[in-house]
Every structure is written in C-alpha cells, then in structure tokens.
Structure 1
C-alpha cells in the first residue's frame, strides 16, 4: 500500500514557498450537518507518524493523530452551514469552508495543496490541486483527519439534541436507519433540504397538508 509522503511539499519548498498548507473537506454526502474543512501547515521537523487518508484509519487512530496534529501544526477548522449548502450547492459550500479554513490559519500560507481537482473560487494564493490528495500528500492527509474527527464529534453533539437519527454512528450519511427516521420522525433544522431524500419528504408532506 502506497502511503502519503512529503514530496508535494518538498517540491513547493524547492520553488521557494515557505509555508505550505494542506486543505481537505468532509461531509459532502450526508443528509444532515455542515460541511467541514481543515487547513494544516505541518512542521517538517515534527511530522506525526502514520498520517494517511482519514477513511483508511480506525477511529482510535484518527483520534490519536488528531491530537498530535493539533499539538504540532498550525491548524484551522471551518464549516459551511446547512443553510449555505441549500442556498448555494454542496460544491460551492465545500469551497467556502475551505476558504474560511485557509483564512483562519495563524500565519497565512504562501502555497496551498488542495484535495480534488478544483481550486475554490476566490482563492488568490498560490495553489495546486491533487486528485486523491489525502492519500498522496501528508499535509492533505492531516487536514482530512482533522476535518473528519471534528465533524464526527459535532454530529455526536447534534445527536444528543435530535435523538433517533443515528447521527452519533452515521454522521448524517443516508443509512437505511437514518432515512427511515426521516420518514417517522420528520425533518430537523440540521437536514439539508436541497438533498433529494429530504426534499422529497418535505414535498410529500406539503402535498398531504394542501
């Protein structure tokens, strides 16, 4: 298995960039909750061991690495709300979260490594996109871990306020149990009304009430 490395960062350093941030987001697919992005500037002298795409790590390993990243790197976490997702679209909302995360770093980066194939509209910094970057760049892998752990914790908190949807386990993704709860318990303020399963329930309810 190929692990992410520091080659993209080293190349950027070789071009004269001093502060390279990795950026990633999580939460495009769920029916509920915000989309969350993280920006991370790693210290080359204090790289946490075992960084990888967050999806390839166990919960315990992600939690441990989250703590190490927060202790050793410049980290910023940001989100775009459900209202912004519904008002724009999930792609634009994801990019808004990325821009906010980059802007929130303690010291501005001079180069940004972005997971995916699109530079967020409005980003004026030097940047490059890396497809599957969370599996290729250590900085993006670190950002993916931070964003996922933070969002998962946030969804656990929301699950305490709105029990029955299983957000503590499914993080808002459309599992069968979550979709059934939508039908039986209804739509909450944290559901994305522009997403088809939620929209369909609201539309059906409107027809019935009319």
Structure 2
C-alpha cells in the first residue's frame, strides 16, 4: 500500500464567493486529475486541518502534505488560526504527534508550506528547524511572496540548521524585524511554478548544515 500524498488548503479566503480559496480548490482538482495527490481538503483552521490529516485513511503512511494558504515570517495561517513554533509545541502538539506516527521513517516524508515567506527572516529559520526536528520529516517553505511563480523554495531535513540567508526575500526591514517581502519572479532564487509538484532533487541536500 503506497503512502499518501495529501493537500490541505485554506477555504476561508473568499470574497463574495470568489477568492484565493476558489483558486486553491480548482488547483487541487487539477492536481487530482494529474494524479499528483490522493486527497485534498479545505480547512477552516489548523485544528480542522490537523484533525483531517490525522484521521484520513489512518492505516496508511503519509509521504507528503502540501499546505496552500497564507503565511508570514515564521508562521502560516488557516483562517485566523496560526501555526508557529508556539502553537506547534503547544495547542497543536498532540495532533502533530498523531500525524508524526504515520510519517515515513528516516525523514522520508515532506511537509511543503506553499505560502508567502514563512521560511524567511530569523523567525522563518527557527520555524523551519522546529518543524523538521519536531516532525522528524523534511520540510519545505518559501522566502518570497508567492503566486503563480513561487520563489525562495527552501527545504530542511531533521537535525539540520538552515544554510540559506535570513535576508533572502526581504525587501524592507531586517531578518530580526522584517517588514515587507519581495514578490516572486523568474529571476529570483529557487523559483518554481504553482503547477510544480516536486521539490527538485538537487535542492534537497543544499539548504541545511549539521547542527553543532
């Protein structure tokens, strides 16, 4: 039995019935037709998202989870519910522990946060390490504002620390206090298209260095 590939998206981002949630739902349907995932779910909060992930076909392992939604430096949002270091280790710790039990061994699973700038700045570095070590899985996220083009795709394995610059993607402010991020572009580092569904293999080993 193959391990699951799951997509979760924020379904609260609507405006008079049309908004980014509509685009994410359409994208999930397209990915399904292209056989790029096994199931998708529109969540209203992180509690909702994690409950679905933990309960979906519980006898199967999970190879990958992609989350499509909004993010800022060191955090991602589902509706008004934020996931950051504090909630990962606090309010959502039990749900993540249940999910971790279903992940592949030896860091073989991937959590890809397809949101704006979650892995940028000092907070983004800390968030990436927290997720990778806490889940025992590889994590991926972006350092730029993303849309059709998605720049600054960075990955981190458990037991590693980020090797990318904390300044990457920051248009205004400092890594300690970022104020504004750059938009993605074809000329920006580590750019993929929204239809890209695999992190390029050559990137997987480039972004982390062993923790002391």
Using the size of structure 1 for normalisation, the TM-score is: 0.26
Greater helix share, structure number: 1
Q: Report which of the two structures shows the higher radius of gyration computed on alpha carbons.
A: 1
Q: Which has the higher strand share?
A: 2
